[in-house]
Structure 1
Amino acid sequence: MMADSDRVYADLYPVEENHLLDPAALIDPDITFLVARCDGVVAGFGALAIRRDENAAYGELKRMYVAPSLRGIGLGRRLLQALEDRARADGMALLRLETGNRQPEAIGLYRAAGFTERGPFGPYAESEHSLYMEKRL
């Protein structure tokens, strides 16, 4: 499924604008990777990366993806909630994310969950394809 998500993003955005978390990074102790299953089959996933800047630590959402055949049943919302819960448990007061502007469903999910737009953060630069968002927890 991760390879499927990579192909989707490669079809939507130039390679230099795909800011995907490398699968090898998922074993890093600062990464939480959650998997959603339906009837025992992987249906989606998402990651929370603990990041630090000059002010404090924050959580960055990465690799949010739900199988196209299983969208619309609330898996993305439940994954997002579980990642937010983990961030709170880890003492994070802020979540940030970068998403592509050609993903209206993802943008709608994040807005409905209380994320608001902001400028680039961390390693990101201004981009015609990216939308940057954050949420105070």
Structure 2
Amino acid sequence: MYIQKIKPNRDDVRVILSASDDYMYALYPPETNHLESEESLMNENVHLVGAFVRGALAGIGAVKMMHDDGEYGEIKRMFVLDNYRGLGISRQIMEALHQYLKHNGVQVVRLEAGVSQPEALGLYQTLGYRVRPPYGLYQEHPLSIFMELDLNTVEA
């Protein structure tokens, strides 16, 4: 497996974005989903990576550089296709995004996740993320959990 920066306007990325949308809309009402579109993933403040297994795109993840509530990176669009789950791909994507932030001098990473995703929440906790109040433009919501990690506390 390898991870590399990718563009969102690839057919294999579109397949994953569609699968992610379907998954999230099955769990939560549309107004509570904060999904980045293909177009927004092309913005210069977004770094999108793909995880490839035997040459096939298995999962994606992005970090969006933010300055609305201090300087931080926000994790967006983390998703691994069903047949690749359980292989540690999400952890490796997250570690690649953390390294990108560190390399660019960003020390804080945040995310918003839904309460109905225990596997994702468990991963974030094992990576050192802690629950925090809403940040940026987010508002408190019973279906959302907000988390943060100080990258200074993460070993290189």
TM-score, structure 2 normalization:
0.85
Moved over 3 A (4+): none
Deviation at 1:93, TM superposition (A): 0.9
* Residue 50 of structure 2 is aligned to residue 35 of structure 1: yes
SS of residue in 2 equivalent to 1:7: helix
SS of residue in 2 equivalent to 1:23: coil
**Cross-structure match for 1:5:** 20
TM-score, structure 1 normalization:
0.97
**Cross-structure match for 2:9:** none
Instruction: Provide the aligned length of Structure 1 versus Structure 2.
Output: 136
Give runs of aligned pairs for residues 112-131 of structure 1, distance below 5 A.
112-131=126-145
Deviation at 1:63, TM superposition (A): 0.4
Equivalents in 2 of 1:2, 1:128: separation in Å? 25
Deviations 1:55-113 (A, max 9, x none): x3110000000111111111000000000000101110100000001000000000000
Equivalents in 2 of 1:22, 1:31: separation in Å? 12
Provide the alpha-carbon RMSD of the alignment. Answer: 0.8
Q: Percent identity?
A: 38
Deviation at 1:53, TM superposition (A): 2.7
**Cross-structure match for 1:23:** 38
* Residue 83 of structure 2 is aligned to residue 69 of structure 1: yes
